[in-house]
Amino acid sequence: MMAVKASVVYLTKNGGDLFKESLRAVLSQQADFEYEVIAVDSGSSDGTLETLKAHPIVLHQIEPKDFNFGRTRDYGFEVARGEIVVVISQDSVPVGTDWLANLVAPFDDPQVAVVQAMDVLPEWSDEELFFWEKARKFYYTRDCKMWMENNNNIGLSFTCCAIRRSVWKEHPLGTVEMSEDKVFQQRVAQAGHKIVFQDKARSAHTHMYTVTSLAKRCENEGLGWRNVGVHYGFSDMIADMTDRDIWQTLRDGLAKSEVKRVAEVLFPF
């Protein structure tokens, strides 16, 4: 029996149909190495557990009260057997049957510690996509730009990436409430490890927002940037609020009837 080279690790809770699609794509991967799929579930009640139990997956369950992004990631990585840990969100769907092979390939270079996959939009109708994600301007603010400029234009995302497990063991996450991916990126980069971007490994991912969920997402993003020491001051806010390109994008979207939701109109605010 071949040794497991890669462990695909999900954190699941009520993943719904999109998780089923993601799982089907992961299990259909064609690779010349052995891989396993692990799920750490924190209280699903929508049929996700039944889906997991119906497939060849290593399932671990924790109580909802015990969930923490940092600690739960650590748990999933700890039980993994592969030398490469592939992190994927339950709502992220790999594109193609060579996604895993492409994501793991850069690790042939022993200096590579982390590989970031390419995030693409799902092939849905425009009505199903949030306007600002479709316009690729969801992360236009100065805090995001500062991070990218200081990190070789790579924003590590646990939506879909891969980590050399030995590097994670050197830099376990511990208790992290928000943006644990950026916390990990910061630690790994400061230790001098190599992080690379792999555009051949693509995964489809997006969100739709109501006004309430958008406000919460923006609040969480701000807390996440604070976790990694990114300063966002009053002058930054003014600069973002007066960004001509953003307001022109909004005007164009309204004129073309592409902006249809209150949350899309309020996004720049």
Half-sphere exposure of 181 (CA within 13 A, CB side): 20
Write down the pTM of the prediction: 0.93
Cβ proximity of 76 and 9 under 8 Å: yes
Q: Are 194 and 112 in contact (CB under 8 A)?
A: yes
Q: For each of the chain's 269 residues, which pLDDT tens digit applies?
A: 579 999 999 999 999 999 999 999 999 999 999 999 999 999 999 999 999 999 999 999 999 999 999 999 999 999 999 999 999 999 999 999 999 999 999 999 999 999 999 999 998 877 889 999 999 999 999 999 999 999 999 999 999 999 999 999 999 999 998 899 999 999 999 999 999 999 999 999 999 999 999 999 999 999 899 989 999 999 999 999 999 999 999 999 999 999 999 999 999 99
